[in-house]
Amino acid sequence: MNINLKNYGLNERFNQEATLYEGLFIARVTEQHRELYKVINEWGEMEASVSGKLAYQADDQTSFPAVGDWVMIDRLEGSNGKAIIHHILRRKSVLARQAAGTENVGQVIAANIDTIFICMSLNADFNVRRIERYLTIAWDSMATPVIILTKSDLCNDLPLKLKEIASVSMGVAVIICSSENEEGFGELNAYIRPEETIAFVGSSGVGKSTLINCLMGQNVLATNGIREEDAKGRHTTTHRQLLLLPKGGIVIDTPGMRELQIHTGNLSKTFEDVEEIAAQCKFGDCSHGVEPGCAIREAIEKGTLSQKRFESYQKLQREVSYDGLNARQLENEKLHRMFGGKAEMKQLKKYMKDKKNNR
Ligand X SMILES: Nc1nc2c(ncn2[C@@H]2O[C@H](COP(=O)(O)OP(=O)(O)OP(=O)(O)O)[C@@H](O)[C@H]2O)c(=O)[nH]1
Binding residues: 150-153, 202-210, 281, 286, 288, 294
- Give the nearest distance from C-beta 8 to ligand X in angstroms: 22
Cβ nearer to Zn ion, comparing 46 with 305: 305
Please give the residues from 253 up to 272 whose contact with ligand X meets the rule CB under 6 A. 255-256
Residues in 119-158 at the binding interface with ligand X, rule: CB under 6 A: 150-151, 153-154
Residue 216 found at the interface with ligand X (CB under 6 A): no
Build a one-symbol-per-residue string for 165-204: x at contacts with ligand X by CB under 6 A, - elsewhere.
Answer: -------------xxx---------------------x-x
Residue 223 binds ligand X (CB under 6 A)? yes
d(CA 262, CA 244): 29
What is the Cα–Cα distance from 227 to 335, expressed in whole angstroms? 44
User: Can you list the pairs that 54-58 forms with residues at least 24 positions away whose Cβ atoms lie under 8 Å?
Assistant: 54/85, 54/86, 54/87, 54/88, 57/338, 58/338
**Residue 148 binds: one of ligand X, Zn ion, none (C-beta under 5 to 8 A by kind):** none
**Positions in the binding site for Zn ion (CB under 5 A):** 281, 286, 288, 294, 296
Q: 327-339 vs 342-358: helix axis angle to the nearest 10?
A: 140
- Position among 23, 159, 225, 289 found at the interface with ligand X (CB under 6 A): 225
Check residue 89 and report its DSSP letter.
P
Give 50 or 201: the residue with its C-beta nearer to ligand X.
201
**281 binds, options Zn ion, ligand X, none, Cβ within 5 to 8 A by partner type:** Zn ion
- Whose Cβ is closer to ligand X: residue 154's or residue 325's? 154
The DSSP secondary-structure symbol of 12 reads: H
Rounded CA-CA distance 137/94 in Å is 10
Length of the chain: 359
| Residue 204 interacting partner from ligand X, Zn ion, none (CB closer than 5 to 8 Å by kind) | ligand X
How many residues of this chain interact with ligand X, rule: CB under 6 A? 25
> Which of 188, 93, 204 has the alpha carbon at shortest distance from 147?
188
d(CA 315, CA 75): 47
Part of the chain binding ligand X (CB under 6 A), chosen from 21-29, 94-102, 231-239, 313-321: 231-239
Q: How far is the CB of 112 from ligand X (least distance, A)?
A: 21
Residue 288 interacts with which of Zn ion, ligand X, none, CB < 5 to 8 Å by class: Zn ion
| First vs last C-alpha separation in the chain | 51
Give CA separation, 223 vs 11, 190, 255, 258, in Å.
33, 25, 11, 17
Please select the residue that binds ligand X; options are 65, 78, 145, 205, rule is CB under 6 A. 205
Minimum distance from CB of 42 to Zn ion (Å)? 57
Q: Which amino acid is at 48?
A: A
Binding region for Zn(2+): 281, 286, 288, 294
Distance CA 163, CA 268 (A): 22
Q: How many CB atoms lie within 10 A of CB 308?
A: 13
Is the CB of 157 or the CB of 344 nearer to ligand X?
Answer: 157
Q: How far apart are CA 330 and CA 335, in angstroms?
A: 9
Footprint of ligand X on this chain (CB under 6 A)?
A: 150-151, 153-154, 178-180, 202, 204-210, 223-226, 233, 235-237, 255-256
